[in-house]
A and B are shown apart, each in its own frame.
Chain A
Amino acid sequence: MTALAGEWIGSALPSAGAIAGAVLGAALSGAVFALKISAFLVPALVLYDLLAPLPVFARLGRRLGPWLSRLGMSPPCAVPLAAGLFLGIAYGAGFIIPIAEGKRIGPEELLGLGLFLCTCHAIIEDTLLFALVGARSPAEVAWRMATLAGLRLLLALTVLVGRQVLLRGRKPSPALE
């Protein structure tokens, strides 16, 4: 087995120098890949933290209250929902895990929240990462990011509205103003 593997490597990589060169080359292209993505990711995250506390967004959040109830969620769901949506489940865990302690969110709502967040979370970071792979221009990045984020958001809303329809058997009002 080892001998076979050795022969195998031997046939593919003739010398130690070639191995070192290949490893170095792969490491370098990996580093370049990481830095290229970071060049977009870091400014995007700074911009998010800079803009997120603006009062406009708080007002927007209050305006979204009625829509939350239409999706089967009560106001206490807003914080974990926003944290998961923008920060992600892992980064937002600090906001998501405490909801179990207060018991202010019932099991039905918790499932709804879970369904939404599983479908659509970390909408900035995750979508940006995938949008950047192999993209040739900033416009392509923006377009792919909008596609990825938009589709996941749409899917999450569809799932929750669909669930409400199934639960209540009443007519949905999916027309988003």
Chain B
Amino acid sequence: MMTGPAGPPSLRDRVRRGLRRGGHACWVLLRVTVPTFIGMDLLRRLGVIEAIGTVCAPFMSIFRLPGEAAIPVLIGYLVNVYSATAALGTLGLSGGQVTTLGLMIGLAHQLIVETAILKTAGAPAFRLLIYRLVMSLVVGLVASRAFIAPGP
């Protein structure tokens, strides 16, 4: 990452850096969201989403979430927050459900890349990985009781 010459960066540099980061995020988002929406739409038409939902329903019901919510969680754990958000956007969940999932995925996401970075930094990456997964499930459990009304 670049650190400019001594002294604070100029106003223009700051705006430019922000725009570059924003533009990059925007591009990643677009690149991830469009294929995700197409893929989710296709899978829904094929009945795959429903099948995954049925299989995962018993587990996800622990978190007061529908079975299909397992898809953004798994995508978030393995890929990244962008893809998880995109998948989440296709499910039409309530605000409380999205908040619960946001906490679960916020705690544990992009696990492969981020664990590699932490390992490179010399941190005990494997212990941290376990910590994140456990924390994600525990916080999901607590948050679901706080944010999601009990189902019928």
Contacts and interface: CB of A to CB of B under 8 A. Distances in A.
B139 A33 contact: no
Interface in A90-137: 90-91, 93-97, 99-100, 107, 110-111, 113-115, 117-119, 122, 125-127, 129-135
A4 to B, nearest CB: 11
SS of A interface (majority): helix
A134 B102 contact: no
A65 B151 CA distance: 46
A132 B29 CA distance: 13
Nearest to B123: A114
A129 B18 contact: no
A47 interface: yes
A13 B85 CA distance: 27
A9 interface: yes
SS of B interface (majority): helix
A151 interface: yes
Interface in A57-100: 80, 89-91, 93-97, 99-100
Nearest to A131: B102
Given A42-B19, A46-B22, A133-B98, A111 B123 contact: yes
A34 B80 CA distance: 15
Contacts of B47: 8, 12
A48 B21 CA distance: 11
Contacts of B38: 23, 26-27, 30
Nearest to A90: B113
Interface residues of A, number: 67
Nearest to B104: A130
Contacts of B89: 33, 133-134
Chain B contact-residue range equals 35 or more
B41 A23 contact: yes
B99 A46 contact: no
Contact of B99 (A94, A95, A125, A147): A147
A43 B25 CA distance: 11
A161 B36 CA distance: 40
Nearest to A110: B123
A177 interface: no
B123 to A, nearest CB: 4
A135 B95 contact: yes
Contacts of A151: 103, 139, 143
A130 B105 contact: yes
28 contacts: A23-B41, A26-B38, A27-B37, A30-B34, A30-B36, A30-B86, A34-B26, A34-B29, A38-B26, A42-B19, A42-B22, A45-B25, A46-B22, A50-B14, A52-B14, A80-B121, A99-B121, A111-B124, A111-B127, A118-B107, A118-B132, A118-B135, A119-B132, A126-B81, A129-B82, A130-B85, A144-B95, A155-B135
